[in-house]
């Protein structure tokens, strides 16, 4: 009966890649924290496996929990270029994969017309003339006329890179089908040129805000990672890391208030980035204590809809009670 493999043994059994910074779970956590991203052990483990197994990571969770920031920080940690593809409805291969430089092809056609006499000089018969023209026709669809878009650009990067496919749930189902070849084999098929394989496989991050279900075929090609809103302790660590000027007492009060306000029936719950913005605002205001008046004056930094602000103001005494318990 096979024995279970723990995390330490796993690091010694999976193959190393050209991302040496991602060679161990503890090392990943340390490197990400040094770059300003508090990385949990679960996140570090998924990144380690993705680098070793050369699998994309599909990151799901509510907006503002650090999904996009995770990919950006990873590019910083591995010291590789970040290529970002922002998804939207109607995205197609000409914007995501490649397109031909039609202006350059048109200019080349004009030059060819001017040199047509020289090209056909000495040709005997229609067959030989057509053969000479055909040789020039192939040039129009060479790599010199190819405009690389994010997916192809990421595969052309030397020594690997980081490819961020952001908000994949906003793209159409047909675009997911386009991604399947890229994510499974790290190659693309261009009819005029054939199959182009990645020079060095990139680290791939896909993010989703759960606005629609993704296909099983896409999920099958990825490692799954769900990032929820952080716990009170973790969010306090994030705030302390991003806004070290804020006192520990104010950090605790602020984080407890944010967690209490997320319990309300809000149109949009405050994201981690908004918690950090609020912390920076309180530093600028030289706040030493989180009182009701200060909260009312700065709620618009934390909440983005007027109805949410009015709801929070109506529950302010209850919310402040949660702060006073800290």
d(CA 310, CA 58): 36
* Contact of 164 with 124, CB cutoff 8 Å: no
Q: Does domain 13-95+149-226 have CATH number 3.40.50.300?
A: yes
Q: Which of 3-17, 146-160, 245-259, 299-313 has the lowest mean pLDDT?
A: 3-17
Tokens read off for 120: 């056909």
Q: How confident is the model at residue 182 (pLDDT cuts 50, 70, 90)?
A: confident
**In angstroms, how far is CA 188 from the centroid of its own chain?**
20
Tokens read off for 62: 């509510």
d(CA 67, CA 52): 20
Confidence (pLDDT) at 322: 79
Rg (CA), the chain: 27
Mean pLDDT for the chain overall: 84
Q: How confident is the model at residue 186 (pLDDT cuts 50, 70, 90)?
A: confident
d(CA 81, CA 22): 16
Confidence (pLDDT) at 152: 85
* Contact of 325 with 259, CB cutoff 8 Å: no
Average pLDDT over residues 205-223: 93
Q: Which residue has the tokens 């090209």?
A: 119
Q: Which of 127-131, 205-209, 263-267, 272-276 has the lowest mean pLDDT?
A: 127-131
Q: Which of 94-108, 126-140, 289-303 has the lowest mean pLDDT?
A: 126-140
Confidence (pLDDT) at 4: 43
Cα dihedral across residues 274, 278, 280, 284: positive or negative: positive
Cα–Cα nearest to 141, from 91, 92, 98, 179 = 98
By DSSP bridging, strand 223-226 and strand 57-60 are parallel
Contacts of residue 148, defined as CB under 8 A and 6 or more positions apart, other chains included, come to 98, 156
Tokens read off for 256: 């407890």
Which segment, 32-41, 92-101, 124-133, is predicted with the most confidence on average?
A: 32-41
Class of residue 294 by CB neighbours under 10 A (exposed 0-12, middle 13-18, buried 19+): middle
Confidence (pLDDT) at 136: 58
pLDDT of 1 higher than 50: no
Exposure of 318 in the CB half-sphere (CA atoms within 13 A)? 11
Confidence (pLDDT) at 107: 63
Q: Which of 8-12, 51-55, 243-247 has the lowest mean pLDDT?
A: 8-12
Confidence (pLDDT) at 87: 94
Transcribe 247-258 into DSSP letters: -HHHHHHHHHHH
Q: Which residue has the tokens 């999976």?
A: 14
Confidence (pLDDT) at 103: 56
Confidence (pLDDT) at 3: 42
Q: Count CB-CB contacts under 10 A for residue 218.
A: 21
- Rounded to whole angstroms, what are the CA distances from 315 to 62, 194, 299, 308? 24, 63, 13, 11
* Contact of 173 with 165, CB cutoff 8 Å: no
Confidence (pLDDT) at 11: 47
Average pLDDT over residues 131-160: 71
Q: How confident is the model at residue 245 (pLDDT cuts 50, 70, 90)?
A: very high
pLDDT in tens, 218-229: 999 999 999 999
Q: Which of 14-18, 173-177, 192-196 has the lowest mean pLDDT?
A: 14-18
- Rounded to whole angstroms, what are the CA distances from 111 to 105, 107, 262? 10, 6, 65
Tokens read off for 321: 């009670």
In the chain, where the domains are located: 13-95+149-226, 98-146, 232-324
Confidence (pLDDT) at 157: 84
Angle 19-22-26 from CA coordinates, rounded to 5°: 165
Q: Which residue has the tokens 């705030």?
A: 239
């Amino acid at each position: 009966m096979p024995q279970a493999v723990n995390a330490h043994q796993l690091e010694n059994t999976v193959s190393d890649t050209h991302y040496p910074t991602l060679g161990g779970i503890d090392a990943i956590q340390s490197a990400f924290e040094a770059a300003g991203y508090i990385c949990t052990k679960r996140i570090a483990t998924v990144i380690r496996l993705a680098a070793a197994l050369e699998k994309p990571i599909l990151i799901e969770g509510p907006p503002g929990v650090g999904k996009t920031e995770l990919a950006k920080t990873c590019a910083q940690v591995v010291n590789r270029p970040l290529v970002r593809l922002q998804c939207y409805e109607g995205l197609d291969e000409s914007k995501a994969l490649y397109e031909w430089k039609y202006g350059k092809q048109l200019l080349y056609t004009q030059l060819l017309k001017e040199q047509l006499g020289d090209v056909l000089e000495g040709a005997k018969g229609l067959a030989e003339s057509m053969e000479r023209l055909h040789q020039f026709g192939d040039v129009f669809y060479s790599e010199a006329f190819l405009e690389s878009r994010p997916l192809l650009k990421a595969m052309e990067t030397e020594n690997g890179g980081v490819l961020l496919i952001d908000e994949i749930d906003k793209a159409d189902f047909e675009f997911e089908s386009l991604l399947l070849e890229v994510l499974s084999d790290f190659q693309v098929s261009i009819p005029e040129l054939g199959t182009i394989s990645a020079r060095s496989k990139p680290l791939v991050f896909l993010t989703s805000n759960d606005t629609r279900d993704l296909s099983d075929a896409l999920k099958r090609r990825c490692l799954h990672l769900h990032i929820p809103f952080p716990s009170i302790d973790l969010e306090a660590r994030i705030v302390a890391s991003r806004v070290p000027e804020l006192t520990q007492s104010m950090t605790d009060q602020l984080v407890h208030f944010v967690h209490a306000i997320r319990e309300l029936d809000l149109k949009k719950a405050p994201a981690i980035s908004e918690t950090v913005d609020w912390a920076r605002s309180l530093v600028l205001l030289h706040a030493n204590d989180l009182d009701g008046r200060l909260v009312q004056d700065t709620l618009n930094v934390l909440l983005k809809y007027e109805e949410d602000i009015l709801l929070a103001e109506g529950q302010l005494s209850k919310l402040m009670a949660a702060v006073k318990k800290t």
